[in-house]
């Protein structure tokens, strides 16, 4: 069991605030600005979501970003894709972070304050997704690095938008704007940027007013299929990603 006071300031890339009603806002950032995702945040977010899920006083969780992007930048710092031990760490963290999000057994809202170019699977594991007109989706870094998109986007995008659309989205690095994302069922509402968090909290407070067991068990009931999908496929997808990373390493060494 976790207590908010013990973990609220423990994560350098997540600012946590909680209302008296138990609505927890998690704002991703790097030094107060737009998040730059790297190997350190990859490790950090495993424990972040674990602590959130272990705190019985959280009633609703809102995920959002900082600056002009939700997740739009990545750095190779802290990642070791190219050795067995290094990739084993990525593999273990990649599996665990997804299950830790699903183990947050209270309703979750994502407020997308801008582009989502990596780790869109975090948002797709939440229950309600709000976006701004500036929000776009793309799976960019995997093919930029020359590796398989096996970290969960391969499982969740075909599930959310359909098999054919999902495979096209991944393989072509399609840029999906907010309007099309809403038409395809990825986004529930498009909200002006200056109203985004207010709308997220409005929805969250309505959910927090439900009896605690009702809201919690509803999240559990709604995510059973996602649990099966992640449990069955995440490890395999990440293993394929690791094999492709080994091939990239070999090519780099040969060059």
As annotated, the active-site residues are 121
CA nearest 154: which of 66, 89, 244?
244
Look-up of token digits 């989205």: 169
Angle at 225 between CA 219 and CA 231, to 5 degrees: 105
How many Å apart are CA 247 and CA 128, to the nearest integer?
A: 38
Two tokens, residue 123: 């948002």
Angle at 65 between CA 233 and CA 82, to 5 degrees: 45
* Beta strand ranges found along the chain (DSSP E): 14-18, 23-28, 36-37, 60-64, 73-74, 108-112, 128-131, 136-137, 176-177, 189-190
């Amino acid at each position: 069991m976790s207590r908010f006071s013990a973990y609220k300031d423990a994560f350098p890339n997540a600012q946590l605030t909680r209302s008296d009603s138990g609505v927890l806002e998690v704002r991703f950032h790097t030094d107060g600005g737009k998040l730059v995702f790297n190997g350190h945040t990859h490790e950090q977010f495993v424990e972040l979501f674990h602590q959130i899920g272990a705190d019985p006083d959280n009633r609703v969780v809102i995920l959002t970003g900082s600056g002009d992007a939700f997740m739009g930048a990545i750095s190779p710092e802290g990642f070791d894709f190219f050795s067995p031990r290094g990739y084993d760490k990525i593999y273990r963290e990649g599996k665990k972070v997804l299950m830790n999000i699903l183990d947050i057994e209270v309703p979750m809202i994502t407020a997308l304050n801008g582009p989502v170019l990596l780790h869109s699977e975090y948002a797709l594991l939440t229950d309600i997704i709000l976006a701004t007109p500036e929000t776009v989706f793309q799976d960019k870094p995997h093919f930029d690095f020359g590796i398989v998109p096996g970290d969960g986007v391969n499982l969740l995008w075909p599930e959310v938008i359909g098999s054919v659309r999902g495979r096209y989205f991944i393989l072509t690095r399609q840029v999906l704007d907010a309007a099309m994302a809403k038409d395809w069922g990825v986004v529930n509402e498009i909200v002006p940027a200056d109203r985004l968090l207010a709308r997220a909290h409005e929805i969250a407070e309505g959910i927090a007013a439900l009896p605690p067991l009702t809201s919690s068990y509803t999240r559990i009931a709604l995510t059973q299929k996602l649990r099966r999908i992640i449990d069955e496929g995440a490890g395999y997808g990440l293993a394929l990603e690791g094999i492709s990373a080994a091939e990239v390493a070999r090519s780099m060494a040969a060059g």
